[in-house]
Amino acid sequence: MPADELPLRISRRTAMTGLAAAVASGCGRAAFYAANVPAVFGAYRRHADLPYGTDAQQRLDVYVPDQAPAAPRRS
């Protein structure tokens, strides 16, 4: 069989590592978007780029609801 027609052989460990990396990167994005949904669809005020440290990259956005919830949240 010519070299360009040889089947690709990959170890199970390599395949599982690649699959785990793909799933982890996708879950990170999904979690990020899920955490930021209230900022898009809710009645919030945004306080952008608040520093929390001395490094220039240590900044965050704080979203404060316009009204307090009627009942406390339960976890």
pLDDT band at 3 (very low <50, low <70, confident <90, very high): low
pTM of the model: 0.41
Kindly provide the residue ranges of all beta strands, DSSP E only, lying in the chain, ordered along the sequence. Answer: 44-51, 59-65
Q: What is the pLDDT of residue 75?
A: 65
In the chain, where the domains are located? 11-65
Cα→Cα distances 58→29, 31, 54, 61, Å: 20, 21, 7, 11
pLDDT digits (tens, 9 = 90+) for 7-65: 667 778 877 787 777 777 666 667 777 776 765 667 888 899 999 999 999 999 988 88
